[in-house]
Every structure is written in C-alpha cells, then in structure tokens.
Structure 1
Amino acid sequence: MKKLSLIAFLSFSVAVFSQKVNGSAENKSKVSNTVTAKADAENEAKMKAAQEKAQLPKPYDAKADAEADIQRLIAKAGKENKNIMIQAGGNWCIWCLRFNNFVQTTPELKKLVDDNYLYYHLNYSPDNKNEKVFSQYGNPGDKFGYPVFIVLDKYGKMIHIQPSDVLEEGKGYSLEKVKAFFQSWTSKS
C-alpha cells in the first residue's frame, strides 16, 4: 500500500510539474508575442514618421552663418518695426518640420507671421550646433528640446523663450494655441 501511495504521489507530482512547465512555455510564448507586436508597432510608427519627414520641406540650413543672419534680421526688424521669431531645431526633427509646415500651409498663421515677424530657422544639428548663438540665448534647446522658439524684439533683445510642447495637439499643433502665441509677441503687443 505504501508503494502504491508513493507511486501515486510521484505520478501526481510529475503531472503537476508537467503542467507548470507547459504553462510557463505558454506564458513565455504570450510574452514573446506581445513584445514582437510592440516592436512591430514601433517600427511601423518609425517608418511612417520617416515617410512624413521625407515629404516635408527642410527649412534649416546647416551651412548658414546664423550669427550674421540674425544681425541682418535685427537691422531689418528695426526698420520694419517687427520682432524676430527664431525657430530653433533641425531638419532631423519631425516636430520642427511639422511646425514649419503647419505655419506655412495655414493661411491665417502665415499672414500673422508675415505681417508681424522676421522669421528665422536656427539650425541645431551634428553638422552645425551653432553653439555660440545658442549660448547667447541660454541654450534653450538643452532645457526644452526642439523645436524651441526664441523671440527677439526689433532691437535684438531676447524677450521670450517658448517651448513647443505646449502648442501641440495630437500629432500636430493647435491652431488656437499657436495663433495666441504669435499674437502675444508681436511688436504691436
């Protein structure tokens, strides 16, 4: 009887262990499938962003002499009584390109900008970090990321730094928030 009980116990133990191993394999398979699905979704999102980026205009010039360009804008701003809007970022930055495209393709925003600002795309990229120019404005990209906006008055004095995340809405920008931002920093405000 003891032998029978021992055999029954061992058989039961093997069966339980076998179920645990099978269950563990099933769980590993489920986890693996979840990880694979997540990786596929991330790759798809990256591909879509790359396709979008390829289609958007590239307003940043890594070869530009930003310091000289901004000095020319300051001279012009005084004559035209306009502030200077510097959009800092690079052609590598999807949000920078989205913002530029949003402003250029939204007639209401384009008119607001054209009527009130001299607009400049200050490049930040491995090819040209414009460290000297950025340091004059406290390196706002280090604090806020890109794009970041630097508003200068018509005399070239920095009057505002604006991170872009507060202007976002979904995968783009809010018309009302961007419009309010531009209206807040005109030379006529």
Structure 2
Amino acid sequence: MKKLFILLTAVLISTVTFGQSKTAGVHIYNPEANAMADLKAATQKAAKENKHVLVQVGGNWCSWCIAFHQLVDSNAVLKKTINDYYEYVLVNWDKEHHNDEAMKYLGFPNRFGYPVFVVLDGKGKVLHIENSAYLETDEVDANGKKKVGHDVKKITSFLKGWTVAAVDPDTYKPKAK
C-alpha cells in the first residue's frame, strides 16, 4: 500500500511538473491588462476599419490557449485571415484575474472552457461565442490515436463565417442584371 501511494504521488508530481513546463515562461496574455479598455479600443478600431473583433479568452496557464495562439502565429493563412477581417484581442482569465466585467460583457464565454472565442461587431455587440473544441482536429496519427491540436480548415471556416460581409444580409441579395 505504501509503495502504491509513493508511486501515485510520483506520477502526480511528474504530471503537474510536465503540464506546467509546457506553458512556463510563455506570456501571451497580460493578466494586468484592462480587458474592458482593450475591448473598447478594439471595437472602435474595428468600426473604423469595417472589421469585427475576435476575442480569445484564456490564460498563460492554458496549454490549449498557447497552442492556438502559436498556430495562428505560425500559419500564414490564419494570420492573414485574422488581420484582414478582425481586430484580435486576448482577454486573460486566471485564478487571480477573473475579469468579471469583461466576462459578463462577453456573455460569460468561459462556460465553454478555454480558449474560447467571441466575435463582436463594430458596436461591441456579441455576435457569436465559439467553443474551441469544435475547432479541434479530427486527424489521427499512425497509431490510430486522435492528434492533439486545432484544425486550420475549421478555424478558417469559423473566421470567414463571422466576417462583416458574411453577416451582412446585403451580401446575399441577388445582383441586379
């Protein structure tokens, strides 16, 4: 029994250490940022540039949040799509910084886990909340196990589905002949 307890303790410690080491030193979210001011500034800029706001809610503790952000940084298609159609804002949520006012304003998107994405229009209205689980890859590796990560095609489809043009009813009116 004592050996089992020691073994389980060792496994738990190594798991926690490994989990933290993946995100240790990575700081894409600013816990001290004024989320509401950032959202307001992004909304104003989006309105001027005829864009929407893409909000990524998460934290530096979240390996999936960091992986998504790194995927966007390393993928030219995703980076261009976001830059062309959105103002991109990262809103931090962690144990010390809940950003309660921002979470309420965004419709409590954290109910879906992290990262979670919110699309706002140029007036600051929440258009859509996207659970990032729907953006995960369906690919399997050579051993038949599901790969971990997000799917570029799914993300691109999501992003293009919430652009200003995509939600504008005039986009779908028949063209005059």
Same fold (TM over 0.5): yes
Name the counterpart of 2:171: none
The reply to whether residue 173 of structure 1 matches residue 150 of structure 2 is: yes
Which residue of 1 is the match for residue 51 of structure 2? 82
Higher mean Cα deviation, 151-160 or 46-55?
A: 46-55
Pairs within 5 Å for 1:55-70: 57-70=26-39
> 1:94 maps to what in 2?
63
Counting only pairs closer than 5 Å after superposition, residues 16-55 of structure 1 correspond to structure 2 as 36=7, 46-54=16-24
- Alignment RMSD, CA only? 2.3
TM-score scaled by structure 1?
Answer: 0.74
**Alpha-carbon distance in 1 for matches of 2:18, 2:81:** 31
1:41-83 Cα deviation digits (max 9, x unpaired): 666555444333236x422111111111111111111110010
* SS of residue matched to 1:146: coil
Residues 20 and 61, structure 2, Cα contact 8 Å, conserved in 1: no
Please say if residues 106 and 126 of structure 2, whose CA atoms lie closer than 8 Å, have aligned partners that are also in contact: yes
**Residue deviations 1:85-138 (CA, integer Å, cap 9, x gap):** 000011111111111111111111001101110000011112321101101222
Aligned residue type for 2:20? A
Q: Which has the higher helix share?
A: 1
- 1:21 match: none
> Aligned residue for 1:145?
113
1:183 aligned residue: 160
CA distance in 2, matches of 1:123, 1:70: 12
Q: Match of 2:172?
A: none
Cα distance in structure 2, aligned partners of 1:59 and 1:86: 13
TM-score with structure 2 length normalisation?
Answer: 0.78
Instruction: Render the CA deviation track for 1:7-31: whole Å, top value 9, x for unaligned.
Output: xxxxxxxxxxxxxxxxxxxxx8xxx
For residues 54 and 147 of structure 1, the distance between their equivalents in structure 2, rounded to whole angstroms, comes to 17
Other structure's SS at 1:173 match:
coil
Consecutive unaligned residues in structure 1, runs of 5 or more: 1-27
Q: Flag structure 2 segments of 5+ consecutive residues without an equivalent.
A: 138-146, 167-177
Q: What number of residue pairs does the alignment pair up? A: 157
